[in-house]
Amino acid sequence: MDIDRLLGRAAARLSESGSTSPRLDAEVLLGHVLGVDRAWLYAWGDRAAPVYERARFEALVAARAEGHPVAYLIGEREFWGLALATSPHTLIPRPDTEKLVEVALELAPAAKGRLLDMGTGTGAIALAFASERPGWEVIGIDRIEAAVALATTNAERLGIANVRFLVSDWFSALTAECFDVIVANPPYIAEGDPHLMLGDVRFEPISALVAGKDGLDDLRCLIGSALSYLRPGGGLAMEHGHDQAEQVRQLLRAAGYLDVASHSDLSGQQRVTLGRMTD
């Protein structure tokens, strides 16, 4: 069977299973198996698919049809132009989270400074920021040891030297440290939210998704605690749910933050909110 027919059959199966991007999923999976990019698949679609690689591909398609995320199946996801290794121990980096990186960069116009990434996971946010601000010291923390190990591996693979990762339950491993910018993509889904039973989220770690009855528990904790770790004038920027912006702004103002504002993601939803510590 040639590559075009193999992809067509796989895309049809994924479409029947409910995939929102069946052809793309099939192409990414086959490209991973063959070690080629999607352009190669288009150029050489009339070539016969090798038997062994075809069997591997069909096994991956079957797993994807069951709902397993493509990023976990191939062990990689691109974020901010960086190829990041992924694992089921961490959230899958998503394009909308790049807005948090953009906001962090706006908060960091100086050539040097210190940034803290809370709940770093794959290290996506910390590594994206560090790649744009080589003069900054960047620290990423996560309470999951496997996540810290994965983020460290990503930094080494990418050759980004101005970032390091630590095991820490929020600020517990940090003593007498101050930062110019603190960023976080914390859990913000409410317990029992029906979205937890849909799509890729079903396979991601629940501890990285759910934060109490209203989804705001970790955001409340972060907003209150960050004041002790921000330098005067320093900024805190957080990703949150599409319907939580007003509540997060209220929490920031109540805690004494200034210049509180929300920013919209790629779909126009207010997804990132920031505040500054008093000078």
List the domain boundaries for the chain.
3-67, 76-276
Residues in the chain: 279
pLDDT in tens, 104-140: 999 999 999 999 999 999 999 999 999 999 999 999 9
Q: State residue 112's pLDDT score.
A: 97
Contacts by residues 44-50 (CB-CB < 8 Å, ≥ 24 positions apart): 44/3, 45/2, 45/3, 45/4, 45/7, 46/2, 46/3, 46/4, 47/2, 47/3, 48/1, 48/2, 48/3, 49/1, 49/2, 49/3, 49/6
Whether residue 185 is predicted with pLDDT greater than 90 in this model: the reply is yes
What does the pLDDT read at residue 1? 85
Q: Is the pLDDT of residue 178 over 80?
A: yes
pLDDT of residue 211: 76
Closest CA to 244 of 276, 268, 212, 219: 219
Fold entry, domain 76-276:
Rossmann fold (3.40.50)
Residue 142 β-bridge partners: 167
Mean pLDDT, the chain, whole residue set: 93
pLDDT tens digits, one per residue of 53-102: 999 999 999 999 999 999 999 999 999 999 999 999 899 999 999 999 99
Cross-strand pairs, 183: 117, 237
Work out the pLDDT band at 143, boundaries 50, 70, 90: very high
Compute the chain's Rg from CA coordinates.
20
Measure the CA angle with vertex 145, ends 141 and 146; round to 5°. Answer: 110
In which band, very low, low, confident or very high, does the pLDDT at 159 lie, cut at 50, 70 and 90?
A: very high
Q: Mind listing the pLDDT tens digit for each residue in 194-238?
A: 776 777 788 788 777 777 778 889 999 999 999 999 999 999 999
Is the confidence at residue 145, as pLDDT, over 90? Answer: yes
Cα separation, 91 vs 16, whole angstroms: 26
Span 178-207, average pLDDT: 83
**Residue 109 tokens, joined:** 């116009």
In the CATH scheme, what is the code of domain 3-67?
Answer: 1.10.8.10
